Amino acid sequence: MNKQMSIEDFVGSLKSGMTIGIAGWGPRRKPMALIRAILRSDLKDLTIVAYGGPDVGMLCAAGKVKKVIFGFVSMDAIPLEPYFRKSREAGTLDILELDEGMLQWGLKAAAFRLPFLPTHVGLGTDVMTHGGFKTVQSPYEDGEVLLAMPALRLDAALLHVHRADKLGNIQALGPDTYYDEWFARAADKTFVSAEEVVERMDHSYPEDARFNIVERCFIHGVIEAPLGAHPTSMPPSYGWDMKHLKAYADSARAEGGWDAYLADTIGADEAGYIERVGGKDAVSSLPLPIF
């Protein structure tokens, strides 16, 4: 029943060629410690499904990605993720660009173990032209024609939350968990990094049980990763590191910028990364962005 694992064991559970869903939203609540672990690995040829931010950009820059299925890839204040942009302009990616609602619907179809879900979203747009989607007709009297959004089945999903226990119970305290639960439900295996891992949640934080966004039966591995969302935000614990994100974005314009960022900032281990970005106190005190 103990689902806690090391970050090394997490990476060892993945294989090249997998379809991996990354929860979070742009520069918010991304499981960046897990992304950095993948960056340090030999994994490649991945299909990434995400409402993307620097997670997608970094994986593209490192040559880990074969295909991206996305609603957007943005860092909010930096509208277009620079390394994703470089990869897309270079023609090195297979892509499927979706309306945000279509991506959600595809995850829900996978979670419900259905081949597709019907929707109005996407009808009459170039999504139909470029995405290869098909339509279905309602079998009822209305006879309405709807887009059939295929299930987005995931081999693995990655989430970052505030707390987890060794049994796989999780608590996500922020106000904007969006579709994280559907990534977990759509995946064969879900791996959760957490700011804190305790023995049992009902003993440690029973008053916050309402923040458990998905049942523990969907959680296969729990990894303790304090400050593991950096440089993205983790409300209410800490905000995004916009200074860091701007420097990261600037590196995309420099000759050898990614190699330098990978070596000098990502480095060989997570503890070293936290120290290089200012340490626990600096990251913990990052102000929350206001939207």
What is the C-alpha to C-alpha distance for residues 135 and 154, in angstroms, rounded to an integer?
23
Helices 54-61 and 32-39: angle between axes, nearest 10 degrees: 0
192 belongs to a structural domain? yes
**pTM attached to this predicted model:** 0.97
Residues 160, 251, single domain; the answer is: yes
Tell me which residue of 175, 227, 157, 235 sits closest to 196, measured CA to CA: 227
Do 163 and 176 lie in a common domain? yes
The boundaries of the domain holding residue 248 are 7-98+153-274
23/52 same-domain check: yes
- Whichever domain contains 72, its CATH number is 3.40.1080.10
Is residue 291 one of the residues assigned to a domain? no
Segment holding 228, helix H or strand E: none
In a domain, 132, yes or no: yes
* Positions of the chain with pLDDT under 70: none
Pair 33, 192: CB distance under 8 Å: no
Q: Is the domain of 135 the same as that of 265?
A: no
Q: 80 Cβ partners below 8 Å, 6+ apart?
A: 73, 74
Residues 132 and 250 in one domain: no
Question: Domain check: are 15 and 133 in the same one?
Answer: no
R_g of the chain computed on alpha carbons: 19
| Shared-domain flag, residues 174 and 92 | yes
Tell me, yes or no, whether 162 lies in a domain. yes
- What's the number of domains the chain is made of? 2
Burial of 282 (0-12, 13-18, 19+ CB in 10 A): middle
Instruction: Please report whether residue 284 resides in a domain.
Output: no
Residue 249 domain flag: yes
| pLDDT (0 to 100) of residue 159 | 98
**Which pLDDT does position 157 carry in this prediction?**
98
Q: Are residues 146 and 166 in the same domain?
A: no
In-domain check, residue 234:
yes
Interior angle at CA 23, CA 21 and CA 29, nearest 5: 150
Question: Which of 160, 136, 158 shows the shortest CA–CA distance to 146?
Answer: 136
Statement to judge: residues 121 and 261 lie in one domain = no
Residue 151: its pLDDT value, please? 98
Q: What are phi and psi of 18, to 5 degrees?
A: -70, 160
- Please give the pLDDT value at position 291: 78
pLDDT tens digits, residue range 3-38? 999 999 999 999 999 999 999 999 999 999 999 999
Is 130 a domain residue?
yes
Write the single-letter amino acid at 209. Answer: A
- Same domain for 123 and 258, yes or no, is no
Predicted pLDDT of residue 290? 86
Does 57 lie in the same domain as 21? Answer: yes
The answer to whether 149 and 106 have CB atoms below 8 angstroms apart is: yes
Structure confidence at residue 262 (pLDDT) = 98
Residues 85 and 175 in one domain: yes
Is 217 in contact with 187 (CB distance < 8 Å)?
Answer: no
Question: What would the pLDDT profile of 227-249 be if each residue is shown by its tens digit?
Answer: 999 999 999 999 999 999 999 99
Distance CA 2, CA 118 (A): 39
pLDDT of residue 250: 97
